[in-house]
Amino acid sequence: MEDKLKKISNNVRLRVLEIVAEKNVGHIGGTFSCVDLLVTLYYGGILNYNDKNFPDRFILSKGHACLALYVILEDLGIISKKILNSYGDDGGLGGQVDININGVDWNTGSLGHALGVCAGIAHASLMQGKNYKAITILGDAECDEGSIWESIMHITDYKLNNVIAIVDRNRLSVTDVITDNAVFKLLPVALKHLGWFYKEIDGHSFQECLAVLNEAKISNKPSFIIANTIKGKGVSYMENELKWHHSVPTKEQLNIAYRELK
């Protein structure tokens, strides 16, 4: 299973890179850091997206990583090649997640909203007696948003055990390194204290991602998973480099990247 997922991940990264290079726009760094998480959700049997009546709900809160999601949706046959190829075109797929695209659950692009939305979905799921999951991938810089903390308190108080929050902890915001900030000192302490299913994992280890997400799915607590990741993961010169938040590779850089990903 892990080998299969790794292969898929590399293909997703390659495809993202090809499209960004061709269209000359995109957020490669923060997309590559969460590709393995997205692949685990969609191909690792975690996200029950195919259920006809009550599928799990998934919101990519860090909407700027949308291209990886679109590549996956195309690969799964949920959107067409033509739609995917419209990325970057006027009136085509854009740089944030768009509800008008098949398989997309929620508009994102503004940060800090998705965990609260998941809380609402989780309420509905429990009220309807269905227990489908509300899953989101958040960026780590996004956790500065006060609304996320409001949601954490609410999910705790209302025991919304079907919420699974995954943080893509790549330690780089748009302009800064965020290794030692108060938010990430407090989050583990707070979540453990509040009784969440809290885990820190290597977000590029499929073995760990699968094990912990499967555990989260059956947990009777809300889940918060910090996935330690590398911004730009998979391409040596992009890894942990701030400039790859939204830079586009030159032809020479592209060739190096292809070699490393193939």
Partner 1 sequence: MSVLDLNQNKDMRDAFFDEIYFESINNPNLIVITNDMDIFSLRKLKEQRPNQFINVGVAEQNMINIASGLASSGMKVIIYGIAPFVVFRCYEQIKFNICSMNLPVSIVGIGPGVSFAFDGPTHHAIQDISVMNALPEMNILNPSDSNSAKHCSNLILNTENPFYVRLDKGVHPQIHNFDKFESYKIIKPIQKTTILSTGTMVSNVMKATKNIMNIGLIDIIKLKPFPLDVLNILENTENVIVIEEHSKSGGLGSIFNDIAADKNLSVKLNLIGFENKQLLKYGSRDWFHKEAKIDFKSLTEKILRII
Residue closer to partner 1 by CB (options 124, 174) is 124
Q: Give the footprint of partner 1 on residues 21-60 (CB under 8 A).
A: 57
Per CB under 8 A, 91 contacts partner 1:
no
Convert 19-56 to b/e letters by CB count within 10 Å (16 or more is b). Answer: bbbebeebbbbbbbbbbbbbbbbbbbebbbbeeeeeeb
Q: What's the closest the beta carbon of residue 123 comes to partner 1, in angstroms?
A: 6
Tokens of 68: 């990886």
- Burial of 190-216, coded b for 16+ CB within 10 Å and e otherwise, reads bbeebebbbbebebbbbebbbebbeeb
Q: Does 113 bind partner 1 (CB under 8 A)?
A: yes
Q: Backbone phi, then psi, for 29, in 5-degree steps?
A: -55, -60
Write out the two tokens for 140. Answer: 């780590």
Query: Six-digit token pair at 80?
Result: 């067409």
What phi, psi does 174 have (nearest 5°)? -65, -40
117 vs 238, which CB is nearer to partner 1?
Answer: 117
Of the two residues 160 and 201, which places its CB atom closer to partner 1 in the complex? 160
Question: 15: phi > 0 → left, psi -120 to 50 → alpha, else beta; which?
Answer: alpha
Site string for partner 1, 204-243 (x = CB under 8 A): ----------------------------------------
Which range touches partner 1 (CB under 8 A), out of 8-16, 40-48, 150-158, 201-209? 150-158
Q: Of the candidates 47, 43, 40, 20, which has an alpha carbon nearest to the alpha carbon of residue 31?
A: 20
Binders in 122-141 for partner 1, by CB under 8 A? 122-125, 127-128, 134
- The correct pick among 31, 86, 151, 170 for binding partner 1 (CB under 8 A) is 151
Task: Say how many residues touch partner 1, by CB under 8 A.
Answer: 29
Rounded to whole angstroms, the Cα distance separating 141 from 173 reads 5
Cβ proximity to partner 1, 97 vs 261, nearer residue: 97
Closer to partner 1 by CB, 116 or 232: give it. Answer: 116
Out of 37, 39, 84, 117, name the contact with partner 1 by CB under 8 A: 117
Length of the chain in residues, anyone?
262
Count of beta carbons in the 10 Å neighbourhood of residue 169: 25
Tell me the window of 151-159, 194-202, 216-224, 233-241 that interacts with partner 1 (CB under 8 A). 151-159
Please identify, using beta-carbon distances, which residue of 31 and 162 lies nearer to partner 1: 162
Interface residues with partner 1 (CB under 8 A) are: 57, 99, 105-107, 110, 112-113, 115-125, 127-128, 134, 146-147, 150-151, 153-154, 158
